[in-house]
Amino acid sequence: MIKPHGSDELNPLFVYDPSENEALQKEAESLPSVLVSSATAANAVMLGGGYFNPLTGYMNKADALSVARDMKTTSGLFWPTPVLNLLHDAQGVKAGDRIALKDPNVEGNPVLAVMDVEAVEEFTDDEIQEITQNVYRPSPDEAHPGVDAFVAQGKVALSGPIQVLNFSYFQTEFPDTFRTAVEIRNEIAERGWKKVVAFQTRNPMHLAHEELCHMAMDRLGCDGLVIHMLLGKLKPGDIPAPVRDAAIRKMVELYFPENSAMVTGYGFDMLYAGPKEGVLHAVFRQNMGATHFIIGRDHAGVGDHYGAFDAQKIFEEEVPEGALEIEIFKADHTAYSKKLNKVVMMSEAPDHTKDDFVLLSGTKVREMLGNGIAPPKEFSRPEVAKILMDYYESLKK
């Protein structure tokens, strides 16, 4: 199986030993505590599950700035985006303290992790701006939800190793879907898959997405597909995770051969960082055991901040050769061809005009679903459309 990023073995930071976990829970009761941001909590979940291998905790200021500028830590580890624990003020925490990190997303704010604080540092306004410009690369003409969410966390960084005690709300709310990188690696091995392609989604999968996965599997000679959906915080208007989950499971059940696809999810808040987030997504997938990863049009983008294929170009132009072992499957926009009566990559149909494809905007599809109208069968499987129509109908009640 493909090696994890940066190490020979996966090193999840979750404390799996029950007695050790219980002892840490008890110790945490007497430790100073900090209520962290949703993004910091999501980072803890990803560290706990092995997705952020080989990191041992939250980055310090020097590493965060180095990663933002050059996609590597001060020690030379390739890494695409800062992984931080940001606060508005230090709340009395100082270097050398051992503290409990409390979960903002679960009622009662239980302890999510125990942290050994190595440094307490404050970013200047210029440094925060440098990180946002280098990581998010926002267009100056449009607000960027990822930048807004990052800036809202504060400028004080607590850095140091953590021990993760639970997986926040993800394991309880999505017991059939949430999986750690450790669990996915184990299941890939159990299924006997050797070549595995991963597909990232934060939306339900329409026919074009489904066919793109089939194309990637066929062209790469893969024996397994991992559909890996984001279960964390999204932007307003995005379809909730349980609805996406039901729609995707129905599609796999009906239209994929047995033992060819896994439906899984991970607990992370979307950054909407376009190309840099595309690279981060590749790191996740290598750590969970995928050998290939589909990067399509406007991957992890938002609004008009990025070019359609910037998330593919970054692997050619900025990711150093050998930095990652996972390989990228570059996908163009896929759509149903009326001429060929099948879904194709649009770039592979040069004799087509726009009118030869079935193209519907997201706004138009949402409007149809909201009015109880199923999109055409060339756009969406009817069984998937039914689940989405039921969801939109429930919003009216």
pLDDT per position as a tens digit, 293-351? 999 988 888 888 998 889 999 999 999 999 999 999 999 889 999 999 999 999 899 99
What does the pLDDT read at residue 234? Answer: 63
Same fold, 18-171 and 176-394: no
What does the pLDDT read at residue 298? Answer: 83
CA 308 to CA 305: how far, in whole Å? Answer: 10
Chain mean pLDDT for the chain: 94
**What are the catalytic residues?**
202-203
Choosing among 2.115.10.20, 3.30.1540.10, 3.10.400.10, 3.40.1390.30, the CATH entry for 18-171 is 3.10.400.10
Tokens for 46, please give them. 């990803």
User: Is it the case that residue 238 has pLDDT exceeding 80?
Assistant: no
- Provide mean pLDDT across the span 142-158: 95
Sheet with 334-337, side-by-side order of all strands: 342-345, 334-337, 357-358
For the segment 34-83, what is each residue's pLDDT rounded down to a tens digit? 999 999 999 999 999 999 999 999 999 999 999 999 999 999 999 999 99
What does the pLDDT read at residue 236? Answer: 67
CA 1 to CA 185: how far, in whole Å? Answer: 9
Residues 6+ apart with CB under 8 A from 352: 337, 339, 346
DSSP for 79-141 reads -SS----EESS-TT--TT-EEEEEPTTSTT--EEEEEE--EEEE--HHHHHHHHHHHH---TT
Whether the upstream peptide bond of residue 54 has omega within 30° of 0, thus cis, is yes
For the segment 179-233, what is each residue's pLDDT rounded down to a tens digit? 999 999 999 999 999 999 999 988 889 999 999 999 999 999 999 999 999 887 6
What does the pLDDT read at residue 396? Answer: 83
For the chain, the structural domain boundaries read 18-171, 176-394
The distance from CA 102 to its chain's CA centroid, rounded to whole angstroms, is 22
What does the pLDDT read at residue 166? Answer: 97
What percentage of the chain exceeds 70 in pLDDT?
A: 99
Output 379-383 pairs: Cβ under 8 A, ≥24 positions apart.
379/206, 379/207, 379/208, 379/336, 380/206, 380/207, 381/206, 381/207, 381/210, 381/250, 381/251, 381/254, 381/255, 383/250, 383/251, 383/254
User: Is it the case that residue 269 has pLDDT exceeding 90?
Assistant: no
User: Is it the case that residue 365 has pLDDT exceeding 90?
Assistant: no
- Return the bridge partners of 230, or none: 266
How sure is the predictor about 235, in pLDDT bands with cuts at 50, 70 and 90?
Answer: low
pTM of the model: 0.94
What does the pLDDT read at residue 188? Answer: 98
- Provide mean pLDDT across the span 252-277: 94
Strand 111-116 to strand 156-164: parallel, antiparallel, or no bridges (unpaired)? Answer: antiparallel
Q: Reduce the DSSP state of residue 247 to 3 states and report it.
A: helix
Q: Which CATH architecture has domain 176-394?
A: 3-Layer(aba) Sandwich (3.40)
Backbone angles phi, psi at 239, to 5 degrees: -75, 135
